[in-house]
Structure 1
């Protein structure tokens, strides 16, 4: 199967585009990214940029039985996982987002979680979590706050730019999170 690779022009034209959530009621975990990158928006799939470690990390951490490709994102639902973002619009970098957008995204995430009731929400990035929920001292791991009955976790961002977590360390943190779920 040939995987679609957008052109440079298509990637640049994707600024401001949105991606639909991969979501269903009563998931084991709803992964919450910051916002789609331009590459993902150009392809129509979450975490699609080559080099993003989301899909390999989910596989290595045991969330999925085989490595899924971004175009197979709907299969996550079979394994009790979903994807959403704080901010829906695509940007070149998360740094382009305004604090107000992240705050609004935190409220929208709350509403989604109360509606869909996943067992846990895993926010992928401590900086975005701190901004969206106005919790400047939050750290990676289980949070004392919940959203309804859903546990709230902060996990490292799987972007290839996150040098603090090489692939093996990233997989260990995600696996520890998976093992904590009942």
Structure 2
């Protein structure tokens, strides 16, 4: 008997992104290495539906709806230069030796490519109705829809956030997946 398709959703424990490296029509997409979204706090998924209405004889005759956008908003507690490079473009370079090491993320006119990426978030074990199980949200192909919220906050922690729009993969048409696991599984 299959597991239940109905569940509660409690919390988010982990999220990772991966650069989309290929998306060939009719084949399998490939992704780069997973990058942790540090201190994940929220992963909010929303969408837009476009409705077309056919009118005639002074009445509504029919209507048709289609998904016009799926969007995700992410907040996380810590800044990651690798995440910035994966979602905005740019380059991260490390230099120096102790005690003068540094990591620098540079975004230039040539490297601001807004590359596509995958995002996967997961509940903690027992964050679903199945004891020991979890749920993964996977958005297969995202592109930033606004510049990330970065900077500082006076006498407080600065929370980092970004929003991105989903597109269906050319390879298989997937926009979003919800995966309920009977046994909790790490993002892979």
Is the radius of gyration larger for structure 1 or structure 2?
2
When normalised by structure 1's length, the TM-score is 0.24
Q: Where is the strand percentage greater, Structure 1 or Structure 2? A: 2
Scaled by the length of structure 2, what TM-score is found? 0.23
